[in-house]
Copies of this chain bind each other. A is one copy, B any other.
Amino acid sequence: MEWSIQDVARLAGTTSRTLRHYGELGLLTPSRVGGNGYRYFDQDCLVRLQRILLLRELGLGLPAIAEVVNGAQRDTVAALRTHLDLLEQERERIGRQIESVKTTLRKTEEGEQLMAEEVFDGFDHTQYEQEVTERWGREAYQRGDRWWRSLSDAEKAAFKQRQVDIAKAFAGALLAGLPADDDRVQAITQRHFDWLSISPSPTRGHFVALGEMYVADPRFTDAYDRHGTGTAVLVRDAMKVFAERNLND
């Protein structure tokens, strides 16, 4: 089963523009892109979109959402459980808001003095951003951290050095004016892929999304562009080509 971009937009109560936007950010990659460029989405995409919209409603920014749905939680089921938790919390918050308004209503009717804090109980919903990133951040961080700390100092240094070497190689390719689909660039991308594959092996969509993140997240672009401005963009393009040639979804 497969849906067109308009189908999905209507189903989710959003617009096709929004879906394309999410595509650009590597948030929601179509499961299939036709030879004509048309985007098609499958069931997994729908579940992913459900998660995205949930997180958005909880007030998270799109980059934060990207980190959550791309990186951390490979386990969809666990992620959905967390979402349920947050939704319950949200419902409870609405409940507190209702009580607030009821109080305001009653006291206004009776001309009674009302207390400032109770007027706004349940109104601050900026808490979620923290809560969510904390929850997922902790999890992702712990996984990464455990792995990282399991390395010896020499291994750590080697890992860092490999990233620097690869970044330099990309920067050199950029300087030489090589296109993303050049064989030599793709060879570097293979090294890059291997380097990333030390952690659980990524699918095609995953790899492409990772590429998009490079140009979106300043932390990553810095790591690459310090070796030459524009390197990060080349890396992303090269990753896209690499994914199409070598990975299956």
Residues of A within 8 A of B (CB): 1, 3, 11-14, 43, 46-47, 50, 53-54, 57, 76-77, 80-81, 83-84, 87-88, 90-91, 94-95, 97-98, 100-102, 104-105, 108-109, 113-114, 116-117, 119-120, 123-126
Given A13-B124, A13-B126, verify A87-B108 contact (CB < 8 Å).
no
Q: How far is the CB of A76 from chain B (nearest CB, A)?
A: 6
**Would A108 and B57 count as touching, CB distance under 8 A?**
no
The 17 sampled A-B contact pairs (Cβ below 8 Å) are A3-B116, A11-B117, A11-B119, A11-B120, A13-B123, A14-B124, A47-B108, A47-B114, A50-B123, A53-B123, A80-B104, A80-B105, A80-B108, A84-B101, A91-B94, A91-B95, A91-B98
Bound Cα distance A46, B43 (Å): 46
**Would A84 and B109 count as touching, CB distance under 8 A?**
no
Bound Cα distance A53, B104 (Å): 14
Given A50-B104, A108-B77, A125-B57, verify A116-B83 contact (CB < 8 Å).
no
Other-chain contact of A94, B90, B100, B120 (Cβ < 8 Å) = B90
**Would A101 and B117 count as touching, CB distance under 8 A?**
no
**Would B87 and A101 count as touching, CB distance under 8 A?**
yes
**Across the two chains, which residue of chain B brings its CB closest to A91?**
B94
Q: How far is the CB of A100 from chain B (nearest CB, A)?
A: 7
**Would B100 and A50 count as touching, CB distance under 8 A?**
yes
**What chain B residues lie within 8 Å of A113 (beta carbons)?**
1, 43
Chain A to chain B: the 6 pairs with minimum beta-carbon distance, closest first = A13-B124, A80-B105, A91-B94, A12-B120, A87-B98, A11-B116
**Would A101 and B116 count as touching, CB distance under 8 A?**
no
**What chain B residues lie within 8 Å of A81 (beta carbons)?**
105
**What chain B residues lie within 8 Å of A14 (beta carbons)?**
124
**Across the two chains, which residue of chain B brings its CB closest to A100?**
B50
**Across the two chains, which residue of chain B brings its CB closest to A46?**
B119
